[in-house]
Amino acid sequence: MENRLKETCWTLELTRHSKKQVPIDRAALQLVFKEIIEGTEDYGRQSGIQTMVAGPLSMYRAFRSGSLQANHNQNRQSKMYIQLRHCRINCIKKGRWSVTIDFENWKGFSGIVGRRSTFTFGPVVKAHNVIFDVALLLTLDLLGRGALAGIETFDELVDFKGAIVKIKEDFLNYPLFLKRGPCGMTLLEGEPSGPHTISANIECWGTSAGISGMSFHAIRRGTAEEFVWSLGKEKTLCLMNHSDRLGVTLDEHYSTLQTLPLVEIYHRDITGSRDPNISTNTVPPRDRGPTFIPSRYGSCELGGGGGGDFAEPRRLR
């Protein structure tokens, strides 16, 4: 019966995405970043920062992971991924930067080739949002890689008084997001990140934080919600580049969304029961499995810290 239903949906060109999907908002992403920072306290911080650079990029402009790295061999061979020559770091004033990035493959629809576009990301204005400052995170990433011309330490970066923070000439053709070594302990300079690696990394950290379904497309869905509420449908479709190469707007795609109980996730109060009612018990947090949590959109499956398929991943990704 399931195959008959899929065949009918395909034949009649009906929407085939009826599963529950999670929109990741700023609060959920902050929990994941907290997990990354704590999990890389002793080692692997460079890999963690790369994931933290990609997260806000997707959050602010609803980018697919394919806009940040080459998820297709054709794009990889054509070097249609972000390289350091596509990034320009502007110093606004002491300790504040903005970054302008040329996207060679800005993907909105699910196709191979996207559009070319340029976006500028300014600094945040409140201290508690500094974790989402794209320019700061990207600059720190390049500082750790030794890619900044004439700047070797954090103090030199903060005291820099020029207009543009220059990138070393021999780094300009290197990718922004690098391939990672075993367990993410090292970055392989000059080698681009593998297909879907960025999304896989943030998914692992999301599972470690207790959020099942974490991905860059989930972040994209969360950003789309914000756009719709504040800007309306038409502007949202434009900002998300949600049209095919013929200019046909893709506005018939929908899926059932649900919210996440972030407070319960943070305190590890999610139980191992699949009962659709939220409850707490005395089960140790790390022994709790997945659960379905109801919300105004439906129910969602959350990974606990327990064993089985939802066991907490290794700290380093």
Query: What's the rounded Cα separation, in Å, for the pair 29 and 298?
Result: 21
> Residue 226 falls within a domain, yes or no?
no
- Bridge partners for 298 per DSSP: 295
> Residue 225 falls within a domain, yes or no?
no
> Residue 119 falls within a domain, yes or no?
yes
The overall pTM is greater than 0.75: no
* Positive or negative: CA dihedral 193, 23, 107, 133: negative
> Residue 259 falls within a domain, yes or no?
no
> Residue 179 falls within a domain, yes or no?
yes
> Residue 129 falls within a domain, yes or no?
yes
> Residue 240 falls within a domain, yes or no?
no
**Predicted confidence (pLDDT) at residue 169 exceeds the cutoff of 70:** yes
Q: Tell me which of 100-114, 157-171, 192-206, 282-296 is least confident.
A: 282-296
Number of H helices, E strands in the chain: 11, 10
- Domain of residue 175 covers 24-203
Q: Tell me which of 5-9, 163-167, 307-311 is least confident.
A: 307-311
**Predicted confidence (pLDDT) at residue 178 exceeds the cutoff of 60:** yes
Q: Which residues contact residue 104 at a Cβ distance below 8 angstroms, ignoring those fewer than 6 apart? A: 79, 80, 81, 82, 86, 116
Q: Report the domain count for the chain.
A: 1
> Residue 150 falls within a domain, yes or no?
yes
Taking only the tens place, the pLDDT of each residue in 15-62 is 555 556 777 888 888 888 898 888 888 777 888 888 899 888 888 887
Q: How many CB atoms lie within 10 A of CB 122?
A: 15
